[in-house]
Amino acid sequence: MSGWGPSPAVQVRALTRSFTAKGVLNGIDLDIAPGEFVALLGRSGSGKSTLLRALAEIDHEAEGSGEIRLPERLSVIFQDARLLPWMRVLDNVLLGVSGQRARAGEVLAEVGLAGRERAWPHELSGGEQQRVALARALVREPKLLLADEPFGALDALTRVQMHALLRRLVDAHRPAVLLVTHDIDEAMLLADRIVLLDQGRLAADLPVALPGAGVARRARMAELRATLHRLLGVEDVAEDHTEAAPPPATEVRYG
């Protein structure tokens, strides 16, 4: 693959993690190239968050071994925005960085929140709060972005907007990304590569390689979806819908 730098951004070797004798991760090897976007899929309880927390070094309650090499600058986002309610939006973005007010304003504009610098977190919608979390993650120009189901709590429409936003931001800033998700379509639309966690191991490692548009793109998505459904042990119902006739159009008149 082209684009590999002299060394990967993330290098994980023989990683194990367990909680009071319950093994969760059982020998994970994973490389992520600089600027590469990897989605981590797996059933609920398969250990996705455990892996992400190990990489973020916020898993002190877990036991384990293995080797993890990471870039120095990394950011983590979660399903909830985790903003401090007593701080205005701009100050939330500036948490943990110093003297970057102008830069923080720019990043807020980039996430579509220009002019909201002085708002309080409770004045924002869930989607807007998650935009602030993204701005806070990006203001430090991370070489690695770790994201644990960051859109899981958003409604479907907001989620679609956030997908487009994340893709734009990642293209502009080029961090390596590890996105934990249980949403196969989200993984396909955003990631360069999908890895699948099962029984404590990475059971699959699939390049996404979606064509830009049209029939070829839809065909590749259907193929990949079917593969992932099979690997995840879910019945694939997508096939049944593809050939279904569209619902009859109803005419709607306004005024």
Ligand X SMILES: Nc1ncnc2c1ncn2[C@@H]1O[C@H](COP(=O)(O)OP(=O)(O)O)[C@@H](O)[C@H]1O
Query: Which is closer to ligand X, CB of 105 or CB of 151?
Result: 151
Choose the one of ligand X, Mg ion, none that binds residue 232, judging by a C-beta under 5 to 8 angstroms depending on kind.
none
Q: How far is the CB of 191 from ligand X (least distance, A)?
A: 17
Q: How far is the CB of 153 from Mg ion (least distance, A)?
A: 12
Q: How far is the CB of 48 from Mg ion (least distance, A)?
A: 5
Query: Which is closer to ligand X, CB of 60 or CB of 253?
Result: 60
Of 45-53, 90-98, 161-169, 235-243: span binding ligand X (CB under 6 A): 45-53
The pair of three-digit structure tokens given for residue 240, joined into one six-digit string? 């049944």
**Does residue 63 belong to the site contacting ligand X (CB under 6 A)?**
no
User: Exposure string (b/e) for 108-136, b if CB count within 10 Å is 16 or more?
Assistant: bebbebeebbebebeebeebbbbbbbbbb
Choose the one of ligand X, Mg ion, none that binds residue 75, judging by a C-beta under 5 to 8 angstroms depending on kind.
none
**Does residue 24 belong to the site contacting ligand X (CB under 6 A)?**
yes
Distance of CA 156 to the CA centre of its chain: 16
Distance of CA 86 to the CA centre of its chain: 27
Contact 77, 148 (CB under 8 A): yes
Distant-in-sequence, close-in-space partners of 127: CB < 8 Å, separation ≥ 6: 154, 155, 158, 161, 162
SS3 12: strand
**Does residue 181 belong to the site contacting ligand X (CB under 6 A)?**
no
Of 4-12, 44-52, 168-176, 245-253: span binding ligand X (CB under 6 A): 44-52
Helices (DSSP H) in 6-55: which residue ranges? 48-55
Size of the site for ligand X (CB under 6 A): 11
Of 47-55, 75-83, 111-119, 160-168: span binding ligand X (CB under 6 A): 47-55
Q: What is the DSSP letter of 121?
A: G
Segment 35-54, which members bind Mg ion (CB under 5 A)?
48-49
Distant-in-sequence, close-in-space partners of 27: CB < 8 Å, separation ≥ 6: 14, 15, 16, 66, 200, 201
Query: Binder to ligand X among 28, 34, 46, 132 (CB under 6 A)?
Result: 46
Report the C-alpha gap between 29 and 16 in whole angstroms.
10
Size of the site for Mg ion (CB under 5 A): 2
Of 30-38, 41-49, 76-84, 200-208: span binding ligand X (CB under 6 A): 41-49
By C-alpha distance, which of 179, 144, 162, 160 is closest to 41? 179
Report the C-alpha gap between 150 and 174 in whole angstroms.
18
Choose the one of Mg ion, ligand X, none that binds residue 131, judging by a C-beta under 5 to 8 angstroms depending on kind.
none
Query: Which is closer to ligand X, CB of 47 or CB of 121?
Result: 47
Residues near ligand X (CB under 6 A) are 19, 24, 42, 44-50, 61
